[in-house]
Amino acid sequence: MSKASNSVGRIGSAWGWGWENLQFLRMRLAGLRSKEGELASLVAEIDAYRGLYEGQSERRFDDARIFEVGYGARPLRLIASISLGLDARGIDLDAPMLERSGAELLRILRRNGPLRFVKSSVRALVFDAHERRALIRVLARRGARLRLAPDRFLVGDIATAAIAPGSVDFFYSEDVFEHIPGAALDAVCAGMARALAPGGMAVISPSVYTGICGGHLVEWYPNSFARDGVRRSEPWEHLRRRRFVADCFLNEWRVRDYRALFEAHFDIVSVDNLKPGLGRQFLTPALRTELAAYDEDELLSEKWRFVLRKKA
Ligand SMILES: C[S@@+](CC[C@H](N)C(=O)[O-])C[C@H]1O[C@@H](n2cnc3c(N)ncnc32)[C@H](O)[C@@H]1O
């Protein structure tokens, strides 16, 4: 078996694991009310990919061979893309839950390990049916019907995936690269660059480590900002006291690290901070002085979007 899940198992103590996952459950429960809006934004992201691709390549997105890196435990973007009729497939280290059957749960236990299995089972019980119904409504508004196509959900490590040269026109990846060890990212990009057809492009959006959410502690997710209540950690705890860790692997890369990596393998079209100013209310003058080693733009951010083209 290739590399196993890196989305769980980083927290040493049972108490720490329980706290972090309880916060996560609370956040997801609060999110149930706005599920349809969340999924409509996700479909809007696919429209944004279309705009970027057609603007850069003067080719139709409907004809593009699309590949998602790290579709995730809730592979909604890839399901939506396939349902909208796009020629999309993807890969993830973890096996996905698509049909919510016993056989699928068993596969998840074998492939993803017991911790990921517990998380997936709770999610399936509490959230999945609601989320699926909301997705069906959002797709219906676009004249589309839910389609799952399990064979398009590859399970494996993107660092070692055998993707045929020239077989992809458009790669996208959201919130994934920060979870891949730095030492593997060169091989990941070399493989992607090889797989891209001439004129192809990639849109890679990692959450950078220096941002207010970069430590991936649930109490510092953007949708936790407005919440009153007790936080164990301080703003930018991950760059300062580092007393707590999130339940996932993080490579701790900065914007400049990604820029150097991508420059070696692609032509960079643009680099954008997708939430400029995020967390400004927490950056006191004293903290700004303490974090003087970082640019303000790197601190006040979450995801950065790198738009890349195959080198000529
Ligand atoms: C935070 S989740 C993001 C999922 C999804 N892109 C989203 O936006 O909801 C990160 C995902 O990347 C996957 N991942 C991490 N390293 C990977 C690798 N080397 N190859 C394939 N998938 C990987 C993890 O298994 C996890 O599902």
pLDDT (tens digit, 9 = 90+) per residue, 235-246? 999 999 999 989
Q: 270 and 307 in contact (C-beta within 8 Å)? A: yes
Higher pLDDT, 10 or 159: 159
Q: Can you give the pLDDT at residue 214?
A: 97
CA 153/CA 149 separation, integer angstroms: 8
Q: Does residue 213 have its Cβ closer than 6 Å to ligand 1? A: no
CA angle 225, 226, 228 (to 5 degrees): 100
Q: Does residue 176 have its Cβ closer than 6 Å to ligand 1? A: yes
Confidence of residue 43 (pLDDT cuts 50, 70, 90): very high
Q: 312 and 267 in contact (C-beta within 8 Å)? A: yes
4-310: CATH superfamily? Vaccinia Virus protein VP39 (3.40.50.150)
Query: Which residue among 67, 81, 93, 217 has the greatest number of ligand 1 atoms within 8 angstroms of its CB, and so is best to mutate?
Result: 93
Dihedral Cα 281, 286, 289, 295, nearest 10 deg: -10
What spacing in Å lies between the alpha carbon of 54 and ligand 1's midpoint? 26
The torsion angles phi and psi of 302, rounded to 5 degrees, stand at: -130, -90
Statement: residue 102 has pLDDT above 90: no
Q: What is the pLDDT of the chain when averaged over all its residues? A: 91
What spacing in Å lies between the alpha carbon of 290 and ligand 1's midpoint? 32
Token readout for 51 is 């705009």
Q: 67 and 170 in contact (C-beta within 8 Å)? A: yes
Confidence of residue 8 (pLDDT cuts 50, 70, 90): low
125-156 confidence digits (pLDDT tens): 777 888 899 999 999 999 999 999 999 999 99
Q: What is the residue with the minimal CA distance to atom 16 of ligand 1?
A: 180
Q: Which of 18-32, 99-113, 239-253, 271-285 has the lowest mean pLDDT?
A: 18-32
Statement: residue 4 has pLDDT above 60: no
Q: Does residue 257 have its Cβ closer than 6 Å to ligand 1? A: no
Q: Can you give the pLDDT at residue 79?
A: 97
Higher pLDDT, 92 or 222: 92
Number of other residues whose CB lies within 10 A of the CB of residue 134: 19
Query: Which residue among 3, 94, 176 has the greatest number of ligand 1 atoms within 8 angstroms of its CB, and so is best to mutate?
Result: 176
Q: Can you give the pLDDT at residue 2?
A: 45
Q: Does residue 157 have its Cβ closer than 6 Å to ligand 1? A: yes
* CA nearest to 44, candidates 141, 176, 131, 175: 141
Q: 169 and 310 in contact (C-beta within 8 Å)? A: no
Q: What is the DSSP letter of 94?
A: S
Q: Can you give the pLDDT at residue 168?
A: 98
Higher pLDDT, 229 or 112: 112
CA angle 49, 213, 95 (to 5 degrees): 60
Q: Can you give the pLDDT at residue 121?
A: 80
* CA nearest to 66, candidates 190, 259, 179, 197: 197
Instruction: Report percent pLDDT > 70 for the chain.
Output: 95
CA 113/CA 94 separation, integer angstroms: 9
CA 138/CA 120 separation, integer angstroms: 23
Q: Can you give the pLDDT at residue 213?
A: 95
Q: Can you give the pLDDT at residue 228?
A: 65
Statement: residue 31 has pLDDT above 90: no
Residue labelled with tokens 């083209």: 309
The torsion angles phi and psi of 162, rounded to 5 degrees, stand at: -95, 90
Q: Does residue 255 have its Cβ closer than 6 Å to ligand 1? A: no
* CA nearest to 105, candidates 97, 114, 115: 97
Higher pLDDT, 197 or 97: 197
Higher pLDDT, 71 or 5: 71
* Sign of the dihedral defined by the CA atoms of residues 258, 261, 265, 269, in that order: positive
Those residues whose C-beta lies under 8 Å from the C-beta of residue 131, and which sit 6 or more positions away, are 35, 39, 74, 76
Q: Can you give the pLDDT at residue 125?
A: 75
81-96 confidence digits (pLDDT tens): 999 999 999 999 999 9
DSSP SS3 for 122:
helix
Average confidence (pLDDT) over 3-24:
69
Q: Which of 4-13, 178-187, 252-261, 276-285 has the lowest mean pLDDT?
A: 4-13
Q: Please count the residues of the chain.
A: 312
Q: What is the residue with the minimal CA distance to atom 12 of ligand 1?
A: 70
What spacing in Å lies between the alpha carbon of 70 and ligand 1's midpoint? 4
Average confidence (pLDDT) over 62-71:
98
Higher pLDDT, 245 or 51: 51
Statement: residue 1 has pLDDT above 70: no
CA 215/CA 235 separation, integer angstroms: 10
Q: Does residue 7 have its Cβ closer than 6 Å to ligand 1? A: yes
